[in-house]
Amino acid sequence: MKQKMIKASIFSALNFSPIVALSSCNYTSQTKAPEDEIRNSKNPNTSNTLNKKEDNENLNNNPPKSDPTNPESPKTNSKKDDTTTQTPSQNDHSSDSSKNPQENHKNESMSNDNSNNTIDQTEETIPEQDDIFDFSDLNNFKLEYDIDSSFYKGIDAISAKERLKPDEIKILIGYYSSISQDIKNKYDITIIDLDKIQEDNLNGILSNIKIKFQAKNNTKRFTIKTIILKGFKVNQKNEKNNPKDTFLSPKSISGPLSKTFASLVGAMLMYNANINAFNQLQNKEDGVINYETIASFEENRNYFKDQSIRLNQALKNSFFDTINKDNNPEFDYKILQVKPDDVNGTLGIQVEIFDLEGSRHKSNRIQKEYTFNGFKKLTDKKVKDFINFTITPDVLEKVIKHKYYRKKFKDLYNENKDKKEKVELKDLFNRSLLDHLKKSIFKKIMISFINDDLYNLTEQITLDKIIATRTKYSIYPFVMNFSINIIKDFKVYFEYDSSRNEQLVKFDFKFGLIPFLTNSFTNMQEFYNSNSSEIELNKTYWFSASKLNE
pLDDT band at residue 528 using 50, 70 and 90 as cut-offs: low
Confidence check: pLDDT of 61 > 80: no
| Per-residue burial over 66-81, b = 16 or more CB atoms within 10 Å of its CB, e = otherwise | eeeeeeebbeeeeebb
Measured at the CA of 533, the angle between CA 304 and CA 508, to 5 degrees, comes to 80
Note the pLDDT tens digit of each residue in 203-252: 889 998 999 999 998 888 899 898 999 999 886 555 566 788 888 999 99
Note the pLDDT tens digit of each residue in 99-122: 343 344 333 333 333 333 333 333
The mean pLDDT value for 542-547 works out to: 92
The CA-based dihedral angle spanning residues 213, 482, 529, 281, taken in that order and rounded to the nearest 10 degrees: 60
Position 456 scores a pLDDT of: 92
- Range name among 285-299, 349-363, 473-487, 502-516 with the lowest pLDDT average: 349-363
Closest CA to 278 of 479, 5, 517, 486: 479
Closest CA to 470 of 213, 22, 106, 37: 106
- In sequence order, which residues have a C-beta less than 8 Å from that of residue 148 and are 6 or more positions away? 52, 56, 172, 231
Position 85 scores a pLDDT of: 34
Position 139 scores a pLDDT of: 83
Confidence check: pLDDT of 390 > 70: yes
Position 264 scores a pLDDT of: 97
Confidence check: pLDDT of 473 > 90: yes
Note the pLDDT tens digit of each residue in 124-177: 344 444 445 778 888 888 888 999 888 888 888 888 888 898 989 998 998 888
The residues pairing with 206 across neighbouring beta strands, listed in sequence order, are: 199, 229
Phi, psi of 195, rounded to the nearest 5 degrees: -70, -10
Helix, strand or coil, per DSSP, at residue 227: strand
Paired sense of beta strands 221-230 and 144-146, if any: parallel
The mean pLDDT value for 48-62 works out to: 46
pLDDT band at residue 90 using 50, 70 and 90 as cut-offs: very low
Position 201 scores a pLDDT of: 84
Comparison of pLDDT for 125 and 532, the residue scoring more: 532
Confidence check: pLDDT of 497 > 90: yes
Closest CA to 447 of 342, 303, 307, 544: 303
CB-CB contact of 72 with 84 (8 Å) = no
Query: How many angstroms from the chain centroid is the CA of residue 443?
Result: 21
